[in-house]
Each structure stands twice: as C-alpha cells, then as structure tokens.
C-alpha cells in the first residue's frame, strides 16, 4: 500500500531563496507586494528575507525594510534566514520571532557560504539557538548539501545523521534536509529521510529540493513515501544558491500543490490565488520561470485542481 500523508505543510521560500540570486535588484515595494499576495493564498509559512551580508547577497540588502514593513497575519509564520551572530542581532532588532539558520554538511560549501568550517558554524549558531530559545523564538535549521556538494560530490549519510543528532540535542523546532544542487535521486532521498525519521526526532523534518536535474517531483514523492509531510518550495520555481555553482531553482510551489491536490492530499492553499502570484513573480524577474503549470496556462490549456 502507498504510504502518503493526508495533508502537507508548505513553506514558501520564494521571497528569500527564490530571488536571492536575481542579478537585478528587486525593489523593496515589489518584494512586499509578493509577500502580501502569498499571504492571501492560504500558505501558512513564508520565508520572507535574509539578514546576510549585502556584499555577498546584494538582493537581501533591504532585509530590515522588508520585514518591518510587511503586513503580517497572525496565523502565518514569517521567517528570516540568519547566517551568523551578527545576522541574528540585526534580525532581533528588526522584530523577527521565527529564525531560519543554516550550515552545510560539506566543509567546502560551508566555507564558501559563511567563511567557517562546519564545526565553527555549529558552535556559533548554538549560541544563537540557545538565545533564541530563551526568548521563545521558533528555530528552524537547514542542513545545506545534505545529499551532494558542488565541490566535494556525494555527501555521506552518516555526516548528515550526525548533524541531525547534534541539532536535536540543541532542541531546534525544525530540521531541513536540503538537496541544494538538485543532484539527489529518489532512492537516496527515501533512504536518508527514512533513516532520519528512524532516529525518532522531536523536531519537524522538512524537505528542501531543487530541480536542477528535473528530479524534484520524483524526490518529493520519495520523501512523502518515507513519511515526510513538510516541504519547502518557491513560487514559479525560482531559486538557486550564490555559493552552489550550477544549482537550478527550487521545486515550484504551484506544481507541487497541483500534484498534491491531484493525489487528494490537502495543503490549505487556494490554487487560483497561487497562480496569480506566479504572474506577479513573472513581472519581477527577467528569468524564465521553470514551473510547468504556468507554461500550460500560458498556452491556453486548462488544468484540473
């Protein structure tokens, strides 16, 4: 029998992961327009911005302005990515209450991403986690390059499992396994998520999948079979990491929602309103969107949802 959840929780990462790699700076007002439109779709989790160095990620230079000017809904989590202690202080000053932290499972990727070894990252971020938990904040932690590294290749499952165990000991609320360069295959995804769940984590385990090799839907299905019911996606399939050469966009939110609805899995998302957000995103970027649904709609075909 196929093992599938009755409902799936989706975190929309478009406003952060989706546009962080855009070369042309997107005005703050446009970012806010997108966040507000996404807030009307039924999505309950949105990664709104990132308090990173403007030198390294210029697109996120307006993080404080974005976060402080959002019209926040009480039933929606608006997360901000925090790379280090300085980012945490800036986020806290801006009023952030739900933080998203990240470290790579790969040493080379982590050094390129945050200029620290994995051990140094975890040591520094453990201070952030402790402080955030003391202040009643929600703490989410992403393990980048959980499957493959653009510099080192295949990443050992044992390395990821050890990181998950360490993060569990720090009592984070959510742990995200990221296929940062979209190189994983369904067998690997099923095996790693199954092994993580077998450890009996108290944190929510979430999948973050990119579509570089066209495998994001197959990998999503493998994760669903393993027992995962929480996923990150990005509207229009936008995305890509500045520190992961060749990485394509995230799994498209609208395509993922369409697939789930066709399978009878609830998301709480209003599909037509989501497609309106795709149109909005299309006007914000010069890149071609990778989501399949928007291509079908543009050609005049109907979709059943």
Which single residue is written with the structure tokens 């403007």?
A: 54
- Residue 3 tokens read as 């093992």
User: What is the spatial distance between Cα 141 and Cα 161, in angstroms, rounded to a whole number?
Assistant: 14
- For 299, the 3-state DSSP assignment is coil
- Residue 32 tokens read as 């806010």
The strand pair at 153-154 and 148-149 is best described as antiparallel
Q: Is 277 a catalytic site residue?
A: no
- Residue 60 tokens read as 């996120």
Of 219, 156, 217, give the one whose Cα is nearest residue 184. Answer: 219
Catalytic residue among 149, 178, 241, 277: 241
User: What is the spatial distance between Cα 19 and Cα 24, in angstroms, rounded to a whole number?
Assistant: 10
Beta-bridged to residue 7, according to DSSP, are 266
Of 142, 135, 161, give the one whose Cα is nearest residue 204. Answer: 142
User: What is the spatial distance between Cα 143 and Cα 167, in angstroms, rounded to a whole number?
Assistant: 10
Could you give the residue numbers annotated as active site? 241
């Amino acid at each position: 029998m196929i093992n599938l959840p009755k409902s799936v929780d989706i975190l929309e990462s478009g406003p952060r992961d989706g546009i962080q790699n855009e070369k042309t700076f997107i005005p703050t007002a446009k970012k806010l327009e997108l966040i507000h439109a996404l807030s009307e779709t039924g999505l309950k989790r949105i990664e709104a911005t990132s308090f990173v160095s403007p030198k390294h990620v210029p697109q996120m230079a307006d993080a404080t302005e974005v976060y402080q000017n959002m019209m926040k809904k009480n039933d929606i989590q608006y997360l901000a990515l925090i790379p280090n202690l300085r980012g945490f202080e800036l986020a806290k000053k801006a009023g952030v209450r739900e933080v998203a932290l990240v470290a790579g499972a790969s040493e080379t990727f982590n050094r390129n991403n945050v200029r620290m070894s994995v051990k140094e990252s975890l040591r520094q971020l453990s201070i952030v986690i402790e402080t955030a938990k003391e202040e009643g904040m929600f703490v989410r932690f992403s393990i980048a390059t959980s499957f493959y590294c653009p510099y080192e290749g295949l990443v050992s499952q044992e390395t990821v499992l050890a990181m998950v165990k360490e993060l569990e000991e720090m009592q984070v609320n959510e742990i995200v396994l990221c296929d940062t360069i979209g190189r994983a295959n369904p067998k690997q995804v099923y095996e790693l998520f199954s092994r993580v769940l077998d450890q009996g984590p108290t944190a929510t385990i979430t999948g973050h999948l990119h579509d570089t090799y066209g495998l994001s839907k197959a990998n999503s299905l493998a994760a669903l079979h393993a027992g995962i019911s929480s996923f990150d996606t990005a509207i229009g399939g936008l995305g890509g990491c500045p520190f992961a050469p060749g990485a394509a966009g995230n799994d498209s939110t609208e395509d993922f929602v369409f697939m789930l609805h066709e399978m009878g899995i609830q998301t709480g998302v209003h599909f037509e309103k989501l497609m309106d957000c795709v149109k909005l995103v299309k006007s914000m970027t010069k890149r071609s969107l990778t989501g399949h649904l928007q291509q079908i709609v543009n050609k005049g075909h109907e979709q059943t949802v």
